[in-house]
Structure 1
Amino acid sequence: MHLIDIGANLTHESFERDLDAVLQRAHGAGVVQMVVTGASREHNPQALELARRHPGVLYATAGVHPHHANEYTAECDAELRALHAHPEVVAVGECGLDYFRDFSPRPAQRKAFEQQLQIAADLAVAGNSKPLFLHQRDAHADFMAVMKQFDGRHGPAVVHCFTGTREEMFDYLDQDWYIGITGWLCDERRGQHLREIVRNIPADRLMVETDAPYLLPRTLRPMPKDRRNEPSFLPHIVEELARDRGEDPAVTAANSTAAARAFFRLPG
Structure 2
Amino acid sequence: MRKVIFMFSLAALTLTSCGTKKKLAELEQKNKECQDLLNSTTVKLNMCLSEREALEKQNEYLKKNNSELINNVGNMTTLTQQGAANIEKALESIKEKDLKISRMQDALTKKDSVTLALVTSLKSSVGISDPDIEVNVEKGVVFISIADKLLFKSGSYVVSDRAKEVLAKVAKVVNDKPTFECMVEGHTDSVPFTGNAVLLDNWDLSVKRSTAIVRVLTKDLGVKPSQLIAAGRGEYVPLVDNKTAENRATNRRTRIVVLPKIDEFYEMIEKEMKKQ
TM above 0.5: no
TM superposition score normalised by structure 2: 0.26
TM superposition score normalised by structure 1: 0.26
Query: Larger Rg: 1 or 2?
Result: 2
